Amino acid sequence: MNIVITGGAGFLGARLARALLQQGKFSVNGQAAQTIGQITLVDQFQPPADLLADPRVRACVGDLNALLTPTVQGVPAVPAGTDVVYHLAAAVSAECEADFDLGLRSNLAPTQALLAACRTLGTQPVVVFASSLAVFGLPAEAEVPSPWVVSDQTLPTPQTSYGIQKFIGEQLMADYTRKGYIRGRSARLMTVSVRPGKPNGAASGFFSGMVREPLAGLKGACPVSRQVEVALSSPNRTIEGLLRVGQATDAEWGPRTAINMPALVTTVGEMAAALERVAGPGATALIDWTPDENIRRIVRSWPGRVESPRANDMGLYPDPDFDTVIRAYAHENQHAVKWPISG
């Protein structure tokens, strides 16, 4: 069993690789699970040292578009014998909104090139595309419904460059699947929180930063109001979902190639309250509530409540509450937590 992960050196990609290596085997379409022989991590950066130390890991480092360009030896990023591809590599929302060409170069072109490479394999590999709830949106002048709920049947109407690029990726996945070139599965990921490390360029990054930075004794920005609803998923539940999607049978997946992943529905104010319950008022005092209209405008266009009946039918469910999410982050990142954690 040979697996490719684009964005394999990133937070989710590296976490997925570790989970696959620990699992050791992988099942495609209900067949007997096969031993994982190789995981190719494709990224512009080197993977973490612990992954490189595993003999089953192959690093393919460089510009993704170049690595997906066919050569006489084949496509470097998608070697012959690839059974499963997880396409996680992407430029994030605020970056794409600020730099239109970056989004086309980083999100649209590589997705099309990757699918073309998978087609040339001639083996109908499973391809899991990390899509986003940003495929849903409201125009700036539209009134936000209360509550605003989207389901697997809701028509995507993205309102950002990032969301549009993800939706185009979903449609490419659907067409390559319809033609029999791949088994395509587009998983609409929720906002992942709490992410460790430094802030990135995602408009949703503050949903992690407003917790991560205060836990470390630093100021953390929250540029939207406490009333804003958000659909979240912890890193653990996100990886659990990606693994399940990749191993779902065709019958379990059904004819529609895109599904909503499970979401913990909460508000920014409830997130702050959870932080105070877990880490105390000293932590929440470090949240900076200075508004940012650009971030507010992007976040406003996303739904706050997401239903995921198809994912539920596959045994996937959201985190129980945000307190649990914060405690899991604190347990995994004790070096980055200043405050005593309750519970």
Catalytic residues: 162
Q: Which of 175, 181, 184 is nearest to 119 (CA)?
A: 181
Residue type present at position 31 = Q
Say how many CA atoms lie within 13 Å of 286 toward its Cβ: 20
Cα–Cα distance measured from residue 54 to residue 35, given in angstroms and rounded to the nearest whole number: 15
Dmax over Cα atoms in the chain, in whole Å?
61
Please say whether the beta carbons of 140 and 79 come within 8 A.
no
Cα–Cα distance measured from residue 298 to residue 274, given in angstroms and rounded to the nearest whole number: 24
Q: Which of 241, 193, 246, 190 is nearest to 220 (CA)?
A: 193
Query: Phi and psi (nearest 5°) for 150?
Result: -120, 150
Please say whether the beta carbons of 216 and 338 come within 8 A.
yes
Dihedral Cα 88, 94, 95, 96, nearest 10 deg: 80
Q: Which of 139, 136, 169, 140 is nearest to 153 (CA)?
A: 136
Cα–Cα distance measured from residue 165 to residue 90, given in angstroms and rounded to the nearest whole number: 10
Please say whether the beta carbons of 183 and 250 come within 8 A.
yes
Helices 268-279, 322-332: crossing angle, 10 deg rounding: 50
Q: Is 163 left (phi over 0), alpha (psi -120 to 50) or beta?
A: alpha
